[in-house]
Amino acid sequence: MPANGSVARKSLRVLGLDPALAGATGYGVVELNGQAAAMLRFGALRFPARASFAERLREIHQMVAQLVDEFSPDAVAVESVFAALNMRTALRLAEVRGVILLAAAQANVPAHSYSPREVKASVTGFGGASKQQMQQMVKAQLGLCEQPEPADAADALAVALCHAHFAWAAERLERSLIANPVAAMFRMRPASRSHFSAGRIPIQR
């Protein structure tokens, strides 16, 4: 810890995943250094039309395990099951998320889930943002020349950014508590996602 009592900053690497049942499962690796975020890799895993559900689960697990092994993320962030889905689809999608969480657990990497609305609010400041607005903000926050494609990969990058936002806000709170614990008790309310939902990372060029 530095001599002034502040919390030493370190980079934060997050693997974000947008699980899909029938379509592609998007992935994106983001690294947060201070207040600046950078994209390390993104893409989407697609399957042949005739691929069985078991084959899809196996390939998704293998993909996540390989990405974790290659990038050694500090955290895995995954979008939670959309509440409006029908029961059958929701259960199948939960199985997809299950193999993702298993791959993270096997590598001892903490996993975090965020609802679609939480991701949108964190990245754009508005929980009802459109996909186009999400892509534009992901492009801006990561300093990309073009909007990330396909949309599944852009969504995965947004999930990774969402976790980075919460982690950054939690770090700010921790530093505030260490610097002035007595004053912080009166000024700061308990940390929750709702307090940080619109806390976007300032863009640094």
Q: Which of 31, 74, 79, 155 is catalytic?
A: 79
Instruction: Tell me if residue 55 is catalytic.
Output: no
Going from the N-terminus, what domains does the chain have, and what CATH number goes with each?
12-168 (3.30.420.10)
Q: What is the spatial distance between Cα 122 and Cα 108, in angstroms, rounded to a whole number? A: 26
pTM for the full model? 0.80
Residue 104 CB neighbours (<10 A): 23
Average pLDDT over residues 132-140: 91
Q: Which of 31, 74, 118, 152 is catalytic?
A: 152
Q: What is the spatial distance between Cα 18 and Cα 107, in angstroms, rounded to a whole number? A: 19
Give the model's pLDDT for residue 57. 96
Among 83-97, 149-163, 191-205, the least confident range: 191-205
Chain segment 153-173, per-residue pLDDT in tens: 999 999 999 999 888 777 666
Instruction: Tell me if residue 74 is catalytic.
Output: no
Q: Which of 18, 31, 74, 155 is catalytic?
A: 18
Instruction: Tell me if residue 118 is catalytic.
Output: no
Instruction: Order across the sheet with 12-18: list the strands.
Output: 36-45, 25-33, 12-18, 75-79, 111-114
